[in-house]
């Protein structure tokens, strides 16, 4: 089990001291609060929360206005080398940090906020004058006299500027009234001319007001003569566009200058706000507060230390309701922790359920390394991953480590295949001399090309496929064993003995028969005959020379038949015990004979993709390298461009495809056989921070 054992920590204190316990729990960090039904307000906390919320809102609006991304992107890291180091935030009380953020905020956000306001005003002016200009163009085309608009003796006629999306609804509301639409260049707005009977005047004005539209008129601050108003609009548009452009440039310069400071400030305000919102309503009475939460068992001493000022208790989780709601906290080693992102994609393991992350940490590098086996490509991928790991933030940093490990595995596997950028390692200087007899690396030269793909001949292909299937068998059997373990823990012994265990023996029998077929030279119809005294691949290695094809075929056949019989009996018992499920004996026979048997075979063959992807990778590199040589080699610029471009293309496409295939083998061939997941993740008080690091100076 690599999931942390949890206990319940409880603190009882005067409600007026709640801000202090909030600070102490923030210092402790590893506290998953248990929700309280209490609605008792703690004014001391709410006052601090209000300040944090206001500051966060102000900073957040500026960040959105400036369009600053919350994290540094992958492209920016690669091509600009942008790295923001965490800022140490020394504090003893959370309240003081909130006050500090409030003091610093104006000096950082006031200047950009002012420019953003100016930019928005200029944008509005440009929009208003553009609408005026385009409306006057419509008036000119229609040869309309604006002075004649409005209320006449028998008719009402006027021009309105409305949102284009509202026109259909206006037409429906003002049914049987003539409405002519004229498109403006803005697309978002349109001009409409309404011609109606005087009796409908009140209705028209009421409807148009509901859409925030008034009869068109030239603004008072503009010449009322249409031709002069048009000229004024053009001048104003040009004037405000220049101002808008100037402000935009100033904002771009200011954004680059304050980006780090504003992101740091924003994160502090958000963390403070989130913590206070989480802990603002402790349980208890009017005068005393009670805060409960899950804590890691190994941090019990630290919890008691930070809460020593008040009455605190740590106890085992025994309440059935609390047991059911217990969150899951991973407790993996650093290397294994990298692969938690894959486990999380299938859900967090429930209490008592095995964590699949250690298995993923073992098998993922093997799968990825085998499919992408090449020393050169692997080292480049590892380097790229390390750049993201060291310079990236949050998820990008975690994925960077996964990429780096995958690349390292590919480089190691590349030694086994004897390939570097598709060239044979033992033919590349200086490795050729080092690997020869008498060379410094001669003692390990046997490792180079142990799973060779140099010639892509039949023997090499069969060897690679054998290795792929062997890895698949280990992976699938591991999943079956975890399923048995899970059923045993849940007390489902009948299912375990009549389905799970026979499923393993059925699978083992089918796999062994497959190996016997290979050992007999694919003489499937006669492999049970005594004429086939050949060794069975993998089986004979483990059982000894007596394990010949004809003997093992017969034993495996008996095991397969016995497993099918047991599973059928178990299925019949199940439908008898659960008639509400609507099962029938025919369904059981079909599922066991066809479903389980074919499933075992199909799942094993699925792992052949490991070898196939390796062969595809090698074939693509062989094609690129042969083309490089045929075009003139290193002396030809075109050949060099082909070599470099071809390798980059193969790395990008193959690297992604291999990732997808590795993920598929885990998610569909492994997880589906035993894993449920779906637990609540442990939520610590302080979330992961990208730009700040708290350093507590508690007196």
Query: How far is Cα 539 from Cα 533, in angstroms, rounded to an integer?
Result: 13
Mean pLDDT of 481-497: 90
> What pLDDT, on a 0 to 100 scale, did the predictor assign at position 659?
94
Query: How far is Cα 551 from Cα 35, in angstroms, rounded to an integer?
Result: 64
| pTM, rounded to two decimals | 0.81
> What pLDDT, on a 0 to 100 scale, did the predictor assign at position 247?
94
Per-residue pLDDT reduced to its tens digit, 275-311: 999 988 888 888 899 999 999 999 999 999 999 999 9
Strands 311-315 and 6-14: antiparallel
Nearest alpha-carbon partner for 97 in 255, 276, 260, 258: 276
Query: How far is Cα 653 from Cα 372, in angstroms, rounded to an integer?
Result: 11
Mean pLDDT of 136-160: 71
User: What percent of the chain is modeled with pLDDT above 90?
Assistant: 45
> What pLDDT, on a 0 to 100 scale, did the predictor assign at position 402?
93
> What pLDDT, on a 0 to 100 scale, did the predictor assign at position 269?
94
Per-residue pLDDT reduced to its tens digit, 359-380: 999 999 999 999 999 999 999 9
> What pLDDT, on a 0 to 100 scale, did the predictor assign at position 455?
65
The radius of gyration of the chain's CA atoms, rounded to the nearest angstrom, is 36
> What pLDDT, on a 0 to 100 scale, did the predictor assign at position 577?
81
Say whether pLDDT at 482 is over 80.
yes
Say whether pLDDT at 434 is over 70.
no
> What pLDDT, on a 0 to 100 scale, did the predictor assign at position 432?
66
Q: Residue 7: helix, strand or coil by DSSP?
A: strand
Say whether pLDDT at 224 is over 80.
no
Per-residue pLDDT reduced to its tens digit, 604-618: 889 999 999 998 988
Per-residue pLDDT reduced to its tens digit, 657-676: 999 999 999 988 899 888 98
Indicate the pLDDT class of residue 148, thresholds 50, 70 and 90.
low
Per-residue pLDDT reduced to its tens digit, 96-125: 999 999 999 999 999 999 999 999 999 988
Q: Phi first, then psi: what are they for 638, rounded to 5°?
A: -65, -40
Say whether pLDDT at 272 is over 90.
yes
Burial (CB count within 10 angstroms: exposed 0-12, middle 13-18, buried 19+), residue 134? buried
> In which element (H, E) is residue 359 found?
helix 357-371
Strands 283-284 and 288-296: antiparallel
Nearest alpha-carbon partner for 144 in 136, 155, 132: 136
> What pLDDT, on a 0 to 100 scale, did the predictor assign at position 454?
66
For 86-90, 276-280, 439-443, 516-520, which range has the lowest pLDDT when averaged over its residues?
439-443
Q: Indicate the Cα dihedral angle 74, 76, 81, 87, nearest 10°.
A: -80
Say whether pLDDT at 1 is over 60.
no
What residues does 289 pair with on adjacent strands?
13, 284
Q: Residue 522: helix, strand or coil by DSSP?
A: coil
Query: How far is Cα 429 from Cα 425, in angstroms, rounded to an integer?
Result: 8
Mean pLDDT of 143-148: 62
Q: Residue 122: helix, strand or coil by DSSP?
A: helix
Mean pLDDT of 470-475: 91
Residue corresponding to tokens 């060239």: 423
Give the Å distances, CA to CA, from 369 to 78, 403, 607: 24, 11, 14
Higher local confidence (pLDDT), 620 or 443: 620
Nearest alpha-carbon partner for 209 in 245, 260, 256, 162: 162
> What pLDDT, on a 0 to 100 scale, did the predictor assign at position 266?
94
> What pLDDT, on a 0 to 100 scale, did the predictor assign at position 197?
83
Say whether pLDDT at 383 is over 90.
yes
Task: Answer left, alpha or beta for residue 257, where phi above 0 means left and psi between -120 and 50 means alpha.
Answer: alpha
Q: Residue 91: helix, strand or coil by DSSP?
A: strand
Q: Indicate the Cα dihedral angle 678, 682, 683, 686, nearest 10°.
A: -150
> E-strand spans in 143-259?
150-151, 155-163, 178-183, 189-197
Q: Phi first, then psi: what are they for 112, rounded to 5°?
A: -65, -35
Indicate the pLDDT class of residue 646, thresholds 50, 70 and 90.
very high
> In which element (H, E) is residue 563 found?
helix 549-577
Tokens found for residue 538: 């993998």
Q: What is the 3-state secondary structure (H, E, C) of 26-77?
A: HHHCCCEECCCCCCCCCHHHHHHHHHHHHHHHHHHHHHHHHCCCCCCCHHHH
Query: How far is Cα 291 from Cα 225, in angstroms, rounded to an integer?
Result: 72
Indicate the pLDDT class of residue 19, thresholds 50, 70 and 90.
very high
Distance of CA 53 to the CA centre of its chain: 28
Distance of CA 215 to the CA centre of its chain: 52
CATH numeric code, 126-241: 3.30.70.2750
Give the Å distances, CA to CA, from 34 to 5, 31, 118, 316: 16, 9, 47, 14
| Residue 430, preceding peptide bond in cis (omega within 30° of 0) | yes
Query: How far is Cα 354 from Cα 265, in angstroms, rounded to an integer?
Result: 40
Burial (CB count within 10 angstroms: exposed 0-12, middle 13-18, buried 19+), residue 591? middle
> What pLDDT, on a 0 to 100 scale, did the predictor assign at position 117?
94
> What pLDDT, on a 0 to 100 scale, did the predictor assign at position 142?
65
Indicate the pLDDT class of residue 144, thresholds 50, 70 and 90.
low
Per-residue pLDDT reduced to its tens digit, 172-218: 888 888 888 888 777 788 888 888 888 888 888 888 888 888 778 77
| Per-position b or e across 280-310, b if 16+ CB within 10 A of its CB | bbbbbeeeebbbbbbbbeebeeebeebbeee
Nearest alpha-carbon partner for 295 in 599, 655, 697, 9: 9
CA angle 75, 76, 79 (to 5 degrees): 80
Higher local confidence (pLDDT), 411 or 579: 411
> In which element (H, E) is residue 294 found?
strand 288-296
Per-residue pLDDT reduced to its tens digit, 314-363: 999 988 888 888 999 999 998 999 999 899 888 899 877 889 999 999 99
> What pLDDT, on a 0 to 100 scale, did the predictor assign at position 410?
95
> What pLDDT, on a 0 to 100 scale, did the predictor assign at position 645?
93
Say whether pLDDT at 243 is over 60.
yes
Tokens found for residue 5: 């054992």
- Helix and strand numbers, DSSP H then E, in the chain: 24, 13
Indicate the pLDDT class of residue 33, thresholds 50, 70 and 90.
very high
Task: Answer left, alpha or beta for residue 693, where phi above 0 means left and psi between -120 and 50 means alpha.
Answer: beta
Query: Which residues are within 8 A (CB) of 624 and not within 5 positions of it... i.e. 6 or more apart?
Result: 422, 642, 643, 646, 647, 650
Say whether pLDDT at 566 is over 60.
yes
Higher local confidence (pLDDT), 406 or 83: 406
> E-strand spans in 184-337?
189-197, 283-284, 288-296, 311-315
> E-strand spans in 524-627?
none
Mean pLDDT of 255-267: 93
Q: Give 330's DSSP letter.
A: B
Indicate the pLDDT class of residue 151, thresholds 50, 70 and 90.
low
Indicate the pLDDT class of residue 145, thresholds 50, 70 and 90.
low
Mean pLDDT of the chain: 87
Burial (CB count within 10 angstroms: exposed 0-12, middle 13-18, buried 19+), residue 314? middle
> What pLDDT, on a 0 to 100 scale, did the predictor assign at position 61?
94
What sign does the dihedral 475-481-487-492 (CA atoms) show?
positive
> What pLDDT, on a 0 to 100 scale, did the predictor assign at position 677?
86
Q: Residue 175: helix, strand or coil by DSSP?
A: coil
Say whether pLDDT at 449 is over 80.
no
Say whether pLDDT at 464 is over 90.
no
Q: Delimit the domains of the chain by residue range.
A: 6-110+248-324, 126-241
Query: How far is Cα 650 from Cα 625, in angstroms, rounded to an integer?
Result: 12
Tokens found for residue 505: 């023996």
Higher local confidence (pLDDT), 597 or 195: 195
Q: Residue 669: helix, strand or coil by DSSP?
A: coil
Count of other CB atoms within 10 angstroms of residue 180: 11
Task: Answer left, alpha or beta for residue 229, where phi above 0 means left and psi between -120 and 50 means alpha.
Answer: alpha
């Amino acid at each position: 089990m690599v999931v942390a054992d949890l206990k319940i920590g409880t603190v009882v204190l005067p409600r007026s001291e709640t801000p202090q316990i909030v600070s102490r729990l923030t210092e402790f960090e590893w506290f998953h609060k248990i929700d309280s039904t209490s609605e008792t307000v703690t004014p001391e906390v709410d006052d601090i929360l209000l300040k944090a919320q206001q500051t966060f809102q102000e900073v957040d609006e500026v960040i959105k206005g400036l369009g600053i991304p919350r994290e540094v992107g992958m492209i920016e890291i690669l091509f600009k080398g942008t790295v923001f180091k965490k800022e140490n935030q020394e504090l003893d009380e959370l309240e003081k940090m909130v006050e500090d953020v409030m003091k610093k905020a104006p000096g950082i956000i006031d200047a950009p906020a002012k420019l953003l306001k100016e930019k928005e005003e200029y944008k509005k002016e440009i929009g208003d004058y553009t609408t005026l200009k385009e409306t006057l163009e419509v008036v000119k085309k229609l040869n309309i006299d604006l002075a004649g608009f409005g209320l006449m003796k028998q008719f009402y006629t006027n021009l309105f500027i409305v949102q284009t999306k509202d026109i259909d609804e206006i037409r429906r509301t003002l049914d049987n009234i003539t409405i002519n639409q004229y498109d403006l260049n803005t697309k978002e707005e349109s001009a409409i001319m309404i011609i109606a009977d005087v009796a409908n005047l009140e209705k028209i004005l009421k409807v148009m007001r509901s859409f925030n539209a008034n009869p068109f008129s030239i603004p008072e601050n503009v010449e009322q003569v249409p031709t002069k108003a048009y000229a004024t609009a053009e001048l104003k548009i040009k004037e405000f566009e220049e101002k808008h452009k100037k402000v935009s440039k100033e904002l771009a310069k200011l954004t680059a200058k304050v980006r780090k400071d504003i992101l740091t400030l924003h994160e502090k305000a958000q963390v403070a706000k989130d913590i206070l919102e989480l802990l603002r309503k402790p349980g208890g009475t009017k005068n005393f507060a009670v805060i409960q939460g899950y804590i890691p068992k190994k941090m019990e001493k630290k919890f008691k230390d930070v809460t020593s000022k008040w009455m605190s208790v740590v106890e085992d989780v025994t309440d059935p309701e609390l047991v059911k709601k217990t969150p899951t906290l991973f407790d993996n080693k650093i290397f294994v922790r990298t692969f938690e992102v894959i486990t999380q994609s299938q859900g967090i393991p429930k209490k008592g359920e095995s964590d699949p992350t250690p298995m993923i940490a073992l098998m993922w590098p093997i799968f990825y390394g085998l499919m992408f086996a090449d020393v050169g490509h692997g080292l480049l991928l590892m380097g790229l991953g390390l750049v993201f790991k060291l310079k990236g933030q949050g998820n990008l940093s975690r994925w960077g480590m996964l990429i780096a490990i995958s690349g390292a595995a590919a480089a190691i596997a590349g030694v086994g295949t004897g390939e570097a950028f598709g060239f044979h390692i033992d033919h590349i200087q200086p490795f050729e001399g080092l690997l020869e007899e008498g060379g410094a690396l001669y003692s390990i030269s046997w490792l180079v090309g142990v799973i060779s793909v140099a010639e892509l001949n039949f023997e090499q292909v069969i060897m690679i496929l054998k290795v792929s299937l062997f890895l698949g068998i280990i992976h699938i059997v591991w999943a079956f064993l975890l399923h048995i373990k899970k059923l045993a823990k849940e007390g489902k012994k009948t299912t375990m003995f009549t389905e799970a265990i026979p499923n393993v023996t059925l699978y083992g029998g089918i796999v062994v028969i497959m190996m016997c077929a290979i050992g007999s030279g694919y003489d499937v119809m006669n492999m049970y005959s005594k004429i086939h005294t050949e060794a069975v691949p993998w089986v004979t290695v483990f059982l000894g020379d007596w394990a010949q094809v004809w003997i093992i075929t017969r034993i495996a056949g008996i095991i397969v038949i016995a497993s099918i019989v047991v599973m059928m009996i178990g299925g019949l018992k199940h439908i008898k015990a659960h008639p509400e499920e609507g099962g029938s004996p025919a369904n059981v026979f079909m599922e066991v004979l066809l479903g389980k048997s074919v499933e075992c075979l199909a799942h094993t063959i699925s792992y052949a993709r490991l070898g196939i992807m390796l062969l595809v990778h090698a074939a693509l590199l062989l094609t690129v390298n042969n083309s490089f040589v045929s075009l003139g080699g290193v002396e030809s610029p075109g050949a060099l461009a082909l070599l470099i471009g071809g390798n980059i293309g193969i790395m990008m496409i193959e690297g992604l495809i291999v990732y997808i295939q590795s993920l598929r083998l885990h998610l569909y061939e492994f997880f589906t056989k035993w894993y449920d997941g779906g637990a609540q993740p442990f939520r610590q008080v302080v979330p992961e921070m990208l730009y700040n690091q708290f350093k507590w100076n508690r007196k």
